[in-house]
Structure 1
Amino acid sequence: MQYLPEIDCDIPNLDLLSLIFDSPYCWAKSETIIHAEADNETNHLTKSEAGIIVRRLAFVLRNEFGIGISGAGNDVVTSVCSNHLLSPSIFFAVIASEAVYSAASTALTVRELARQIQSSKSNLIIATEDTASTAIEAASICNVPLERVLILHSMSFDRALTPSVDSSQNYLLETREFPWARISEEGILKNRVVALLYSSGTTGVPKGVRISHKNFVAEAIITQTAIETYLSRQHVFSEFQYRTIAHLPSAHISGLQGYFINGAMMGGTVFWMPKFVFDDFVHAAKKHRPTFISTVPSVYLRIAKSASVSDEFHSLQHAQSGAAPMGPQLQKLAESKLKCKISQAWGLTETTGAVTWLPWDREDSTGSISQLLPNTRLKIVDESDRPVPDGNSGEILVRGPNVTIGYWENDEATKEAFTADGWFRTGDIGARKDGKFYIVDRKKELIKFKGLQVAPAEIEAVLLEHDQILDAGVVGMPDPQISGNEIPRAFVVRKPGKSPMSEEDVKRHVRDNLASHKQLRGGVKFADFIPRNLSGKILRRKLVQIEENERLSKI
């Protein structure tokens, strides 16, 4: 049995650049300011100005560096850039030059970045000042000439794109243009890879997710249709102004789809913060009055528990949470502070972003991941790929025009990720109850205790309800008494300014709220922070590694 959305919509056969810059589907007009610096909004770009920069940068890529000369999709350009005003223009210019844009996290070490460059066979690297040294070292390891490491400047009116070996050469001064190819053939749109995003790598070596024109366009239209349906129901279409703040790093699917693409599609402005600083985020919200934000539970936790936040977010019409489950109690606390409703969206890099979200005029306080977006399909199956009854948990499978065609040069991983009839295996364990979808946990993160499955996310949600806990992460540890058994261990960050809570206080809180098999038999460790990746997901492997290092040091 497969679950269907309330509505579907038509996905145009257009390439991504034509969709944004040359089609009626994009709500932004030529004069619409689509990108602005959060700290100084006079440093901005209209859609028309962005289009000119894209064509000029595409000319530079093609004629100065030979990008795309050997054919579409053969060259890869790696971007390891912090949030910059011109980051979206770099993305679109790479695609316009018929190359593949490979997004690299600014948090990568030299070794990790070199591995990504080698995996993608990238031959051109674009960095910002804060990542330049890492990019240069990684380029040297990968035998990429330093003149092919470019440094981007675009904040505080300092606009330049220079080779790392010659800062006097500014490629943004180029006036010649390279027009992108208009593509309408469905087969090309579906199969031509334009972006390469590496999975978060919480287990094993990260895999490169191939995203096509069709994937990006479908996700953009699907998201736009969901918002348009809400606006039409509320009869406020002409009054709505889309404004959001790019506060999370853009080197992931929420950044590319949410910041680079969706803002223009909604006809509004994305205000750019170079990096996330909580107080700066609050200040930007007060200044720019966002109407929509999408962020992670840890940010909502900061908002909910911060005494310095008052009315800064009261301009919001809706807020969205993703990347990790958010418990009903945290949702309630955050909604009270924001004065607007929060819904949970769910999706993956492999689905080009959201598969589910809640219409803005509906409410849910049960912790569900909302409902299917248009054109998406979902199944919940057991280990034999048989559909499970409502109320039972199983792995979530999805399909739709926004689902990746597979992994970069990894046929084995691609084969394993899809069923024989084309459904994508998400690795998420979910259930459908009372017509709503819920995430139980990641399949590979479940703790197995005496034959029972324990979801770390469920324990974490309970821990975060405690007013003395700022953050928490839970992992499974080997049971010293039962071979092959696992027991939950919590890592807890105590909220400052409170009387110190003890390990027994934490255990008692869990004992009072969860069943016997979900208790913290592995103990409690107090920590200064919980390691997370840039999209907000807990890096459980790092918590496990901390424990392993401590154990080995005692031998």
Structure 2
Amino acid sequence: MSTPRSFAAVITEHARTRPDAPAVRLDDTVLTWRAFDDATARVAALLRAEGLAVGDRVALVLPNVPHFPVLYHGVLRAGGVVVPMNPLLRGREVAHHLADSGARLAFAWHAVADAAHAGAAGTGTRVVVVEPSATAELLAGVRPDPHPHEPDPQDVAVLLYTSGTTGTPKGAALTHRNLISNAVTNHETLAQVRPGETILGALPLFHAFGQTCAMNTAVIAGAQLTLLPRFTPEAALAVVERDRVNLFSGVPTMYVALLNHPGAERCDVSSLRRCVSGGASLPVEVLRGFEERFGAVVLEGYGLSETSPVASFNHPGAERRPGSIGTPVRGCEMDLRSADGSPVPEGEVGEIVVRGENVMKGYWRNEAATAAAIVDGWFRTGDLATRDADGCYRIVDRAKDMIDRGGYNVYPREVEEVLYEHPAVAEAAVVGFPDPLVGEEVGAAVVLRAGASATPEELQAHVRANLAPYKYPRRVWIVSELPKGPTGKILKRAITPPAPVEQGAEQGPPARPGTA
């Protein structure tokens, strides 16, 4: 298909040609394409009545509920810029996102409204609480706007906040061209779902992976998006069976949980044709075990928020390389570069660089960070890989300190800054360590101030009170000093967590599959 100019045009066309087909579902709540188109048009009318100008930012602090795609595409239809936010964020984190983006409005799910209000205080952002019955009544009183905004392809559509290497969240500015072309490419070359088929929306929609590979791919394909607000293997299998899901996208921890679920044999998952894995490396034995048990092909790939996100994949019809991230997707180029920017020979390790229609416009209002990240048109990912003779890439390490906890990015500096706010902490170093359940777990080595006292549990509680639940260190250990290099820089590579004293003593509550 040719690349459409806007998502609104695609939704309106589906509403015209297949008005009664399901577009979005959550349990017994189903929006047809006609209802979905109507709802987004009412959101656009509401926003314009509020004085929203083209380019104004609107934050969404919502879980995976039908209101997310309705508001997301309603904002785009009105010409606004969507700022998706993790509903688990605390007030201080919300405040940064709102202040940095300059969001005029924030739609916040009623269950997390307190954190949204706390974060909005002093930012000038007005919070609109989203409660199903009240929101439906509000939209019912608005006449649908029949004239969707026609964006320029290079206009910013979404700001996705990512901390990168600095620990300070930056807004990756993704354009309409970035998002639409990546969704079209994902649909045509990877997902290959047909109109009326079903995609499971178990990944968080505030994340680029869930937005492109589930929500926006469903829009492009005319497929049904069936939502799962909180992943558990029981719930996911039940939805696959009930809604005859054809495509599932997930992170490795989800595949581990599904593979190990004892009740899987009793579920009819025969409709499941293809699965997509990203966000972290999928163990080969998990990939093979999943395919054998569920009879669905798993395609592993790679991407980042800054690349909309899909950059490479093991493509359908091509020889798959377990443990590999495959080859670049259509419209995208990848290469390996050394620290000085020169090309790296085949078989040697280099930093992945990406350019193409999927690469962000830049970091929002941050020219220095943009110039450091995009050099001569190539986006520097910070990930190290090798490339074989067939052009397949294989990640070997991360140049960044980022911890990938079950598909959720945890940036050590952000956690360290909170630890340093504790009056008993003199020094802190946050590192990742292997965990069989979530891939990487968060740990913190802490040096206390002379004469001060604090327990690991107290420090964990301090971080939990200030950051999202998935970010706090499950292991905290007190040390007399941290290893340092000749310049005084802390040598994180020399830090390893001691063996746990006993279950729960220093680890904190155990993680659950597919949760944060």
The TM-score, its normalising length taken from structure 1, stands at: 0.72
- Looking at structure 2, the residues matched to 271 and 108 of structure 1 have their Cα atoms a distance apart, in angstroms, of 24
Residue in 2 aligned with 1:174? 142
Report the secondary structure of 2:362's partner residue: coil
Q: Which residue, out of 67, 77, 87, partners 2:52?
A: 67
Q: Which residue, out of 389, 414, 437, partners 2:393?
A: 437
CA RMSD, Structure 1 to Structure 2 (Å): 3.4
Tell me if 1:376 matches 2:332: yes
- Structure 1 counterpart of 2:129, one-letter code: I
Report the secondary structure of 1:390's partner residue: coil
Q: Which residue, out of 161, 171, 174, partners 2:135?
A: 161
Residue in 1 aligned with 2:292? 336
- Looking at structure 1, the residues matched to 16 and 335 of structure 2 have their Cα atoms a distance apart, in angstroms, of 33
Residue in 1 aligned with 2:39? 53
- Looking at structure 2, the residues matched to 14 and 78 of structure 1 have their Cα atoms a distance apart, in angstroms, of 23
Residue in 2 aligned with 1:261? 216
Residue in 1 aligned with 2:129? 151
Matches within 5 A, 1:536-547: none
Query: What CA deviation, in whole Å up to 9, does each residue of 1:8-36 have, x standing for no partner?
Result: xx86361332244348xx99833331111
Residue in 1 aligned with 2:157? 194
Q: Does structure 2 retain, via aligned residues, the 8 Å contact 1:430–1:437?
A: yes
- Looking at structure 2, the residues matched to 278 and 399 of structure 1 have their Cα atoms a distance apart, in angstroms, of 36
Could you say if the C-alpha distance between residues 475 and 153 of structure 1 is closer, same or farther in structure 2, counting changes exceeding 3 Å?
A: closer
- Structure 2 counterpart of 1:116, one-letter code: H
Residue in 2 aligned with 1:293? 248
Q: Which residue, out of 164, 179, 204, partners 2:167?
A: 204
Q: Does structure 1 retain, via aligned residues, the 8 Å contact 2:205–2:211?
A: yes
Residue in 1 aligned with 2:5? 14
What is the total number of aligned residue pairs between the two structures? 447
Residue in 1 aligned with 2:466? none
Could you say if the C-alpha distance between residues 376 and 364 of structure 1 is closer, same or farther in structure 2, counting changes exceeding 3 Å?
A: same
- 1:118 offset after TM fit, Å? 0.7
Could you say if the C-alpha distance between residues 16 and 323 of structure 1 is closer, same or farther in structure 2, counting changes exceeding 3 Å?
A: same
- Structure 2 counterpart of 1:367, one-letter code: G
Q: Which residue, out of 476, 482, 494, partners 1:487?
A: 494
- Looking at structure 2, the residues matched to 254 and 105 of structure 1 have their Cα atoms a distance apart, in angstroms, of 13
- Looking at structure 2, the residues matched to 470 and 249 of structure 1 have their Cα atoms a distance apart, in angstroms, of 16
- Looking at structure 2, the residues matched to 532 and 307 of structure 1 have their Cα atoms a distance apart, in angstroms, of 14
Query: What CA deviation, in whole Å up to 9, does each residue of 1:107-142 have, x standing for no partner?
Result: 100111011111111121101121122222222342
Tell me if 1:313 matches 2:313: no
- 1:176 offset after TM fit, Å? 4.0
Residue in 1 aligned with 2:323? 367
- 1:363 offset after TM fit, Å? 5.1
- Looking at structure 1, the residues matched to 373 and 378 of structure 2 have their Cα atoms a distance apart, in angstroms, of 8
Q: Which residue, out of 85, 98, 104, partners 1:104?
A: 85
Could you say if the C-alpha distance between residues 392 and 474 of structure 1 is closer, same or farther in structure 2, counting changes exceeding 3 Å?
A: farther
Query: Which of 1 and 2 has higher RCO (CA within 8 Å, sep 6+)?
Result: 1
- Looking at structure 2, the residues matched to 245 and 405 of structure 1 have their Cα atoms a distance apart, in angstroms, of 29
- Looking at structure 1, the residues matched to 165 and 255 of structure 2 have their Cα atoms a distance apart, in angstroms, of 23
Residue in 2 aligned with 1:132? 113
- Looking at structure 2, the residues matched to 301 and 33 of structure 1 have their Cα atoms a distance apart, in angstroms, of 30
Q: Which residue, out of 229, 249, 259, partners 1:274?
A: 229
Could you say if the C-alpha distance between residues 391 and 142 of structure 1 is closer, same or farther in structure 2, counting changes exceeding 3 Å?
A: same
Report the secondary structure of 1:270's partner residue: strand
- Looking at structure 1, the residues matched to 387 and 499 of structure 2 have their Cα atoms a distance apart, in angstroms, of 31
- 1:432 offset after TM fit, Å? 0.7
- Looking at structure 1, the residues matched to 335 and 93 of structure 2 have their Cα atoms a distance apart, in angstroms, of 35
Query: What CA deviation, in whole Å up to 9, does each residue of 1:166-191 have, x standing for no partner?
Result: xxx623431242511335xxxx312x
Identity %: 24
Matches within 5 A, 1:397-412: 397-412=353-368
- 1:338 offset after TM fit, Å? 2.2
Could you say if the C-alpha distance between residues 114 and 353 of structure 1 is closer, same or farther in structure 2, counting changes exceeding 3 Å?
A: same
Contiguous gaps of at least 5 residues in structure 1: 1-9, 163-168, 232-236, 448-455, 494-499, 502-524, 537-555
Tell me if 1:32 matches 2:21: yes
Query: What CA deviation, in whole Å up to 9, does each residue of 1:290-348 have, x standing for no partner?
Result: 11111001111111222222244342111111011112122223223322221211111
- Looking at structure 2, the residues matched to 19 and 58 of structure 1 have their Cα atoms a distance apart, in angstroms, of 16
Residue in 2 aligned with 1:216? 179
Q: Does structure 1 retain, via aligned residues, the 8 Å contact 2:91–2:118?
A: yes
Q: Does structure 1 retain, via aligned residues, the 8 Å contact 2:314–2:324?
A: no
Matches within 5 A, 1:498-509: none
- 1:87 offset after TM fit, Å? 1.4
Q: Does structure 2 retain, via aligned residues, the 8 Å contact 1:321–1:345?
A: yes
Matches within 5 A, 1:446-485: 460=434, 464=436, 472-473=440-441, 480=483
Query: What CA deviation, in whole Å up to 9, does each residue of 1:369-427 have, x standing for no partner?
Result: 122211111110111111111111111111111110101110100110111x2111111
- Looking at structure 1, the residues matched to 210 and 343 of structure 2 have their Cα atoms a distance apart, in angstroms, of 33
Report the secondary structure of 1:282's partner residue: helix
Q: Does structure 2 retain, via aligned residues, the 8 Å contact 1:473–1:530?
A: no
Report the secondary structure of 1:473's partner residue: strand
- 1:360 offset after TM fit, Å? 3.0
- Looking at structure 1, the residues matched to 353 and 164 of structure 2 have their Cα atoms a distance apart, in angstroms, of 20
- Structure 2 counterpart of 1:487, one-letter code: A
Q: Which residue, out of 363, 383, 386, partners 1:428?
A: 383
- Looking at structure 2, the residues matched to 27 and 339 of structure 1 have their Cα atoms a distance apart, in angstroms, of 36
The TM-score, its normalising length taken from structure 2, stands at: 0.78
Contiguous gaps of at least 5 residues in structure 2: 404-430, 446-480
Report the secondary structure of 2:119's partner residue: helix
Could you say if the C-alpha distance between residues 411 and 203 of structure 1 is closer, same or farther in structure 2, counting changes exceeding 3 Å?
A: closer
Q: Does structure 2 retain, via aligned residues, the 8 Å contact 1:291–1:318?
A: yes
Could you say if the C-alpha distance between residues 533 and 318 of structure 1 is closer, same or farther in structure 2, counting changes exceeding 3 Å?
A: closer
Q: Does structure 1 retain, via aligned residues, the 8 Å contact 2:231–2:514?
A: no
Q: Does structure 2 retain, via aligned residues, the 8 Å contact 1:344–1:368?
A: yes
Q: Does structure 2 retain, via aligned residues, the 8 Å contact 1:20–1:261?
A: no
Of residues 470-479 and 48-57 in structure 1, the stretch that sits farther from structure 2 once superposed is 470-479
- Looking at structure 2, the residues matched to 98 and 474 of structure 1 have their Cα atoms a distance apart, in angstroms, of 39
- 1:429 offset after TM fit, Å? 0.9
Q: Does structure 1 retain, via aligned residues, the 8 Å contact 2:184–2:217?
A: no
